[in-house]
Amino acid sequence: MKITVTVIKADIGSIGGHICPSRRLLARVAEYVADQSSGLIIDSHVGCTGDDIAILFSHQQGISSEKVHKLAWDAFVAGTETAKEQGLYGAGQDLLKDAFSGNVKGMGPAVAELEFEERPNEPFLLFAADKTDPGAYNLPLYLSFADPMHNSGLILSPSMNRGFTFAIMDVSHTEADRVIELNAPEELYDIAALLRDPERFVVESVRSRNNGEVAASISTTRLHNIAGKYTGKDDPVMLVRVQGAFPATGEVLSPFSIGHYVAGFMRGSHTGPLMPVKKSTPTSFFDGPPIVSCLAFCVHQGKFTEAVDAFDHPYWDHIRDKVSRKATEIRRQGFFGSAMLPYSELEYGGIVEKMKRIEQGFVDRKTTELVEH
């Protein structure tokens, strides 16, 4: 059976600043989806990570289905009403357009979709991150699909021996989707050369070279490219199929043990380590640290099993302690150097006016003065 798994996420309001949605808000979104999905959706799941709500759907409408995207958009609009009634902070934050126009891409919400012929057993992972941008997944994807140090199956499993194709998007090119496809392992250094710049180049999808099937899909939305100003961080979602021709679940989780530094801590303007967290974890220290959750599912004839929380295990407590130490350490240098993002990332915020004013105070020293000193 051919099915599509779609995840669409948005921040439509949260308690106490950018911490987490209210229970009533989550319930409203889930209720809207349950009420409106008959005949369109086979199954759905609603959850939250930090202040973002993710709606997962299975259906047979294909990728970029207007009906499915509209259902998610309408659920977020309905939720925004509840957020306003409760006086939640940032009600409707990620709904950047007034009216739905065919596809949530380019309207604020993040979307990732996979369409495939269901295997007899079909395990997959749903990742949702808060206080970061889509390039945060570049390193984990590189390591789990192209590096035998994390994916032992690249050595051990004949079903992955041909490697994977990475589709990488240049998200700074806003006129159209600008994408390149590169093959691992032959083009590993070219892949690395792009993925090292996660604010510009973002993995959009990964495909198996053994069977041609899609393995992973990542949201590529950069909100400031839509709004032209800072409206909140992108907070990306990702779907990854696992086992068989794809990495084992543990091979996909493995790189998250690094707690790598990503963009998005406090006001979307700082660098912080990405902490793997349990589902529904709120944000805290310095509006962060950046967090990522992972729910594991199987899907059969479009029906999801219950979600298993992949980062709810004693192993990850030890990683979370390490990531807390890394977060504290980089915060010790405040705004200085690599602790704050480069100006190219900040230029969508209020610092632009400040820099214009300061610029006027600069004077070009005359050559003669230079000689005298």
* Binding positions for Mg ion, rule: CB under 5 A: 11, 18, 50-52, 90, 130, 235
Residues 6+ apart with CB under 8 A from 227: 96, 108, 348
> Which residue in 32, 230, 261, 348 is the catalytic one?
230
The reply on whether position 270 binds ligand 13P by CB under 6 A is no
Q: Say how far apart CA 237 and CA 292 lie, in whole Å.
A: 9
Task: Select the span of 73-81, 107-115, 263-271, 342-350 touching ligand 13P (CB under 6 A).
Answer: 263-271
Beta carbon of residue 330, minimum distance to ligand 13P (angstroms, whole number): 16
Please state, in angstroms and rounded to a whole number, the distance separating the CA atoms of residues 318 and 243: 26
- List 12, 111, 266, 299, residue binding ligand 13P (CB under 6 A): 266
Residues 6+ apart with CB under 8 A from 294: 125, 126, 127, 253, 256, 276, 309, 310, 311
Whether 11 is catalytic: yes
18 binds ligand 13P (CB under 6 A): yes
Q: Which is nearer to ligand 13P, 79 or 302 (CB)?
A: 79
* Minimum separation from the CB atom of position 222 to Mg ion (A): 14
Cα torsion for 225, 230, 233, 239, to the nearest 10°? -20
Contacts of 214 (CB under 8 A, 6+ apart): 114, 115, 116, 205, 206, 207, 208, 241
Q: Is 157 helix (H, G, I), strand (E, B) or coil?
A: coil
Could you confirm whether 354 is annotated as catalytic?
Answer: no
Specify the residue, 179 or 349, whose C-beta has the smaller distance to ligand 13P. Answer: 349
Instruction: Give the residue with the Cβ less far from ligand 13P, 123 or 302.
Output: 123
Residue 80 binding target from Mg ion, ligand 13P, none, CB below 5 to 8 Å by type: none
| CB of 133 or CB of 235, closer to Mg ion | 235
Active site residue 230: yes
Give 137 or 145: the residue with its C-beta nearer to Mg ion: 137
User: Distance between CA atoms of 148 and 144, rounded to whole angstroms?
Assistant: 8
Q: Which residues are known to be catalytic?
A: 11, 230, 233
* Contact residues for ligand 13P, defined by CB under 6 A: 11, 18, 50-51, 90, 93, 130-131, 232-233, 235, 248, 250, 266-268, 287
